[in-house]
Amino acid sequence: PKVSKSKQELAVLPKSIHISASPSLFFFNERLDKLYSVKYAEFLKIIHSLKPWEELDAYLFDESMQWIIAHTHDRDILVIGKP
């Protein structure tokens, strides 16, 4: 699924997406070329704290790499696989 939002709105994950509080999540910030180990709540905090002028291209996935959630600089949320 793809959820498109204007720059003034927060990107929101579809309610059908359920991610456990697994400690083994990874957050890749493409612009900084850095990989972080995060909890899901930390990922949401990062996404929701973005100012309208801030751009972020980032990916969230677990160690199985069976799914990925991407946040684009256009504030789109892309989900590949089933978390």
Residues 57, 12, 63, 81, CA torsion sign: negative
For residues 50 and 65, give the distance between their C-alpha atoms in angstroms, rounded to a whole number.
26
- Do the beta carbons of residue 72 and residue 10 sit within 8 Å? no
Task: Please provide the size of the chain in residues.
Answer: 83
- The model's pTM is 0.74
What pLDDT is stored for residue 10 in this prediction? 45
Region 56-61: what's the mean pLDDT?
93
Mean pLDDT calculated for residue range 79-83: 84
- The pLDDT, as a whole number, for residue 81 is 86
Return the pLDDT at 24.
78
| Contact (CB, 8 A) for 49 and 43 | no
